[in-house]
Amino acid sequence: MTNTAPWTSRKPTAVLVLADGTVIEGVGIGATGKVTAEVCFNTALTGYQEILTDPSYLGQIVTFTFPHIGNIGTNDEDVEDLTPAARRGAVGTIFKADITEPSNYRTAKHLNDWLASRGIIGLSGIDTRALTAWIREHGAPNAVIAHDPNGVFDIEALKAEARAWSGLVDLDLAKEATSGQSSQWTEKPWVWNEGYDELKAEDAKYHIVCVDYGVKRNILRLFTGLDCKVTVVPANTTAEDIMALNPDGVFLSNGPGDPAATGKYAVPVIQQIIKTETPTFGICLGHQMLGLALGAKTEKMHQGHHGANHPVKDHTTGKVEIVSMNHGFAIDSKSLPEGVEETHISLFDGSNCGLRLAGKPVFSVQHHPEASPGPQDSHYLFRRFINLVRERKGEAALAER
């Protein structure tokens, strides 16, 4: 891959150094310093703030294929991580064009300042299409991204760091993305020109316990929007402590890292929850670990799925929906044991995107149905989950759509 940056008259103040020795020079944005991570690309046209604060991106550098990032600035409402802190989402980012001045009535801070405040190191002014094509051919690489306003880099040392990093396989990042303690979530979905309302205690009909492996805020909002009291618990919470909360349903959240690594402590907990026949719903990492708990296997993907325009087919309805994706690991469809049904598949590559346990109130999906960012085609999955809760209580089902 050649560095075909359009800004060749400017001094490089940031570099991306791949593990194979490739060096890509650009203009630094956001935080200064360096970090080692995996490079992926995201094809979404909107929602860059939600993407960069998605805890599932911890340990990754996000390359945006859409060239103009930063046009609408940033605000305090479009953050997706539960506990905002530096490096609670993506650790680095790559843009094609310079960040422009924001033009949106909700803008609170320029993207460059926001990136710096969150410790996200950025690189702009490179041919992101060439980098994306390289990743498609060679797979998501390990790399070091570095930003120095003076443009001083020890390239050989950075190459050595990129080569030495072990990558995401066998890496448990959920322990870094999870909440430090249990908490209650009451914020409801955003309403145009009104913002967020709060769920009142007297309006809560059901109690959902969310096991937080790196949960996104809009997932929790959609539960409260269905009149659910939500208790968020850390990733290492025991099954006994979860069930002591008397949940009507248990949610297994999204999150970063290798599901097999996090599964060493999470899978036994999930297996115990399943035995109680409590309605259980998983998304992303939660989906993958539910699969492991049921006897399936997971695998590292070549380039992963990252974007808000992925077609997925729901075998239970026969419908195709456009969804938001963010994952570098997947369940091996061929490893699904008897009694575990594949419910959704990717129409890009046929990979598994959903499963359910036959005869039990247990299911999960690989994609992100909360649509933050992304289309709302899959919002019905939250109603499907609540219907399992209602069925257990002897109540009539809600319409899924």
Listed in sequence order, the residues at least 6 apart from 8 whose beta carbon sits closer than 8 Å to its beta carbon are: none
DSSP 195: B
Please, are residues 313 and 320 in contact by the beta-carbon 8 Å criterion?
yes
Please, are residues 348 and 191 in contact by the beta-carbon 8 Å criterion?
no
Query: Which position among 306, 310, 344, 368 bears the catalytic label?
Result: 368
Neighbours of 334 (CB within 10 A): 9
Classified as helix, coil or strand, 176 is: helix
Query: Which position among 161, 228, 370, 379 bears the catalytic label?
Result: 370
Tokens 């939250």 found at: 382
Distance CA 164, CA 158 (A): 10
Classified as helix, coil or strand, 87 is: coil
Q: HSE-up of 318 (CA within 13 Å, CB side)?
A: 0
What distances in angstroms separate CA 260 from CA 96, 165, 344, one per listed residue? 34, 19, 21
Query: Which position among 25, 284, 321, 379 bears the catalytic label?
Result: 284
Listed in sequence order, the residues at least 6 apart from 317 whose beta carbon sits closer than 8 Å to its beta carbon are: none
Q: Is 321 a catalytic residue?
A: no
Quote the strand ranges of 132-187, DSSP E. 142-147, 183-185
Q: Is 210 a catalytic residue?
A: no
Q: Is 370 a catalytic residue?
A: yes
Q: Which residues are part of the catalytic machinery?
A: 284, 368, 370
